Amino acid sequence: MIGLTRQTVALGGRTILRDVSFTPRPRELTALCGPNGAGKTTLLRALAGLLPNTSRPDPRQAAYLPQSARSAWGLTVRQVAELGRIPHGDSSAAPVERALHLCGVEALRDIRIDRISGGEMRRAMLARAFATEPEVFLLDEPTADLDPAAAHDVMRLLRRTADAGRAVVVVLHAIDLALRYADRVVLLRDGRIEADLPASQALPKAAALFGLPYGLDPTPRLLPPN
């Protein structure tokens, strides 16, 4: 099973993660939150086994979406999603079609990925992760570049995915999305886990972490879809 036990990571002489223990659990949507440079991405990469002295999970079991996923070549959206089948060594159409549908990029399937918008590209990259049909999703800012409605769509998809029995770990800057959709919020600061608690109780600690006030009073803002 994927997880870290008392993991310390140093890159280029700088310690980025200190003594971190974290295990994604099935049926759970976990949000990793914290200020810039807190070690969120490094924690996710350590879970994916991409750092020295970390163990690489079975690629059929875990899908990893990096923060700045770009394609060097102008593959079509469908060809990008098909890359998710490489761990299985097949090119079965059904999982790829399902993934394109789930991520809402069916209509773009034959368009080159360098000819669509940043948000559409982000969803195409997410479709690549879904095409693998893994047990664990490790997603670095899947809602970056997305418009508010699309961000809620993606978070609801991840909620449904966790409810269907998968473990989903997401790095999120949007605290409101984390509090609304996640089961569990892990707060990081300076490479340490400051708090690991249910989303319903996370707001005071998260606000303290960023040094921001928080409130429950309604302010003018966009509301999530019904």
Partner 1 sequence: MIGRLAVLLVGASALSLLIGDGFIGTAPWPVITDIRLPRILLAVLVGGGLGLSGAVLQGVLRNPLADPGLLGVTGSAGLGAVVVFYWGLAASFAPALPLGGLAGAVAGTACLLLFAGRTPSGPSLILAGVAVSAVAGALLTLALTLAPNPFALAEVTFWLLGGLENRTLFHVALAAPPILLGALILLRLGPGLDALSLGEDTAASLGVPVGRTLMLAAAGTALAAGAGASVAGGIGFVGLVVPHLLRARMGERPSAILPAAFLAGACLLLTADTLLRLLPWVLPLSQPPPLGALTALFGTPFLVAIARRMAP
Q: What is the contact surface with partner 1 in residues (CB under 8 A)?
A: 45, 48-50, 56, 59-60, 62-66, 69-76, 79-80, 83-84, 86-87, 112, 125, 128, 132
> Any idea which residue has 């209509």 for tokens?
107
Which tokens belong to 73?
């070549």
- Minimum separation from the CB atom of position 59 to partner 1 (A): 3
Residue closer to partner 1 by CB (options 7, 132) is: 132
- Minimum separation from the CB atom of position 217 to partner 1 (A): 42
- Minimum separation from the CB atom of position 79 to partner 1 (A): 5
Residue closer to partner 1 by CB (options 48, 172) is: 48
97 to each of 78, 101, 145, how far by Cα in Å?
A: 8, 6, 23
Which class for 13: exposed (0-12), middle (13-18), buried (19 or more C-beta within 10 A)?
Answer: exposed
Backbone angles phi, psi at 18, to 5 degrees: -120, 115
- Minimum separation from the CB atom of position 65 to partner 1 (A): 8
Residue closer to partner 1 by CB (options 27, 56) is: 56
Of the candidates 206, 149, 153, the residue with the CA atom closest to the CA atom of residue 179: 206
- Minimum separation from the CB atom of position 88 to partner 1 (A): 9
Residue closer to partner 1 by CB (options 64, 181) is: 64
Residue closer to partner 1 by CB (options 80, 175) is: 80
CB atoms within 10 A of CB 196: 14
- Side-chain half-sphere exposure of 199, counting CA atoms within 13 A: 17
